[in-house]
Structure 1
């Protein structure tokens, strides 16, 4: 049976799978789209093949919709070697994190023990109070946090904000928001070198 895979080179195209390792986008959500990234990842339905070109074109922001590959809902049925989560700003990659995907499920790959590469030099050697998809406070998802100290003293590296909560650094005009540290080490979420991205895309690499 022929299944699709997609290669990003400014546009998305559909090709037949080959008998090699392939990188497949399994999730795309745009900022301010009104879509809960966490709910979509955990329990959202898969997109149809006809939606690949429409929903994976970074020239077109998504509103009230998303792209999700069926692989996510059947994660443990696939031989997933690596998982890569990328943030894009103006269609340019601004953050890339790579995780070991072997012997994981759809929730366990995003863990410090699985982390292979990140843009932050201090992350692997630093303590974290949260590093996981579930995150904290019911709204801070895919969260990589250093420590809490009364909102104004909160430090971290990466977070998907699905909604507002009691801290000022989580307030946006629309959600979700994809916040990341633009430097090489953890920052204060409120006053540090923190930026927001336009799109979140998660890729998996399969051993076929």
Structure 2
């Protein structure tokens, strides 16, 4: 089984990440240990600070793939869903409405404050139960 997580922006699927879904739960399929490939080539083998659906609960950050925390202006990562503002929230996650889906629009992780970060319209998930071929090539 495979799970494809897709980032939709401008009505198009702009980023994808594929995970092994065998022997996983509804929460732990989205993890570094189940990662297969993605449209962020640097994600494989890079150090990740946070990589889970649960994310950083104290800051309301879900579906969080974060590279590092080094103070708000230095935080960097690939994907985050911010579901609310909390005390101590960083300027990079403040928005007009919540939840907000933020993603690194280039091929690498980006600084959340100064990098090529975009707000997406939606996250989509596709589950493939057959083991014949991979979801993506």
Residue 90 of structure 1: CA displacement? 2.3
1:142 corresponding residue in structure 2: 63
3-state SS of paired residue (1:152): helix
Q: Which runs of 5+ in 1 are unaligned?
A: 1-80
Q: Report the TM-score when normalising by structure 1.
A: 0.59
The CA deviation at 1:138 is 4.3
**CA deviation after TM superposition for structure 1 residue 186, in Å:** 1.1
| CA-CA distance at 1:198 after TM superposition | 0.7
Question: How far is 1:159 from its partner?
Answer: 0.7
Moved over 6 A (4+): none
Aligned to 2:33, the other structure's residue is in SS state helix
The reply to whether residue 163 of structure 1 matches residue 77 of structure 2 is no
Distance in 2, matches of 1:138 and 1:182, equals: 22
Contact 2:37 2:44 in 1 (8 A): no
What is the match of residue 111 of structure 2? Answer: 188
Aligned to 1:112: 32
Normalized against structure 2, the TM-score is what?
Answer: 0.88
Rounded Cα–Cα distance in structure 1 between residues aligned with 2:24 and 2:90: 32
Aligned residues: 128
Structure 2 residue runs without a partner (length 5+): 132-137
* Superposition CA RMSD, Å: 1.3
